[in-house]
Structure 1
């Protein structure tokens, strides 16, 4: 009995690893061509969906991911490549409010408040993308985030029939990104479960 349980456990682990690798290959291969790194090649879109992240690291330092997303959103708007910025993120408490932090940074960069709209229920990437399409009725968008994150965001956007592309905000140094790349490796198979388990994806729209 013990040998059977050990064998079953190892089979489950192996199947999980195979599914995780398959999910990563699938998501990256399907979306890579939709990610832009050069501003001069980005096609015009009405709206940029800026995905939220904390403005500070756990050590209290400035978060390069946040700063680079703000920089990218500012440049896209000022070059006339988008006319509106939808800021989607977590505002779990009055002391942690990603959309408000992004708005303050963008206004400081000279972006008019009239061009900014906030989604304060974007607690996860799937929520930000699905709500962009189904609550804010925006499907022709450019998603602003780092490349490692853009693959998953674009895959989710395809599920919701969006005509989305992504602009990769400048990446942080490799040593800073290692932890988030590992987390993203496991987030991609979870996204597939969230999207394709019957009835599950609908819960992300009307929160």
Structure 2
């Protein structure tokens, strides 16, 4: 009886090691593929990035370090004349939490006029934001604005969904302040790999088309969210 119990424990231990090895291999494989997708498509300098019509600014929790630095990069991009419009995309699934409205207000404080900003209130995930830029806002050739690790994953998704994307890297956090996010990013890349290749996941919501141009109905209506 005791021998069978020990044998069972040994088999479970070996199975656990095998599963851990498979998971580690999947994490490594996903990370390599996501990184390779963005080769020659990431820019650290506003002056070096090619001009395009629209920049997609990916959301973050309002006021945190990632949010502030993405706003700084997006504002610099617009002020340099590299884009005509900024599409701010983030989470607004709860009444008291509105990333796009907070992003709009922060950009306006940086001198970007409201007429240059469109809001996507259903950017619940990076995939949602990227694919909705094409399917809702009609933009399949964009600049993405976020930190480098996030831009790599966004470009990977864009390529798998037929979107021509380059990216401007906002300033990142140091290891001490960003280590938890970097840990989560490893598994976010696994999800991106599965979503793009096996599941072919689509955004949670699509909705009416919005044309981004000077004559369009404004994508960030007055009085919305945190205004």
* TM-score (structure 2 length as normaliser): 0.83
Question: Alpha-carbon deviation of 1:93?
Answer: 2.0
Residue matched to 2:65: 64
Moved over 3 A (4+): 3-6
CA contact (8 A) 1:89 1:99 kept: yes
CA contact (8 A) 2:47 2:80 kept: no
Q: CA RMSD in A?
A: 1.6
Residue matched to 2:201: 201
Question: Alpha-carbon deviation of 1:111?
Answer: 1.3
CA contact (8 A) 2:127 2:203 kept: no
Give the Cα separation in 2 of the matches to 1:202 and 1:88.
16
What is the SS of the residue equivalent to 1:166? Answer: strand
Give the Cα separation in 2 of the matches to 1:138 and 1:205.
17
* TM-score (structure 1 length as normaliser): 0.91
What is the SS of the residue equivalent to 1:96? Answer: coil
Unpaired runs of 5+ in structure 1?
57-62
What is the SS of the residue equivalent to 2:40? Answer: helix
Give the Cα separation in 2 of the matches to 1:32 and 1:130.
20
Counterpart selection for 2:17 from 4, 10, 15: 10
Give the Cα separation in 2 of the matches to 1:30 and 1:54.
26
- Structure with larger Rg: 2
Give the Cα separation in 2 of the matches to 1:152 and 1:98.
20
Question: Alpha-carbon deviation of 1:205?
Answer: 5.5
CA contact (8 A) 1:125 1:153 kept: yes
Give the Cα separation in 2 of the matches to 1:173 and 1:150.
17
Go from structure 1 to structure 2 and tell me whether the alpha carbon gap of 1:93 and 1:204 turns closer, same or farther (over 3 Å shift): closer
Residue matched to 1:27: 34
Residue matched to 2:210: none
CA contact (8 A) 1:131 1:204 kept: no
The size of the alignment, in residue pairs, is 200
Counterpart selection for 2:61 from 54, 63, 75: 54
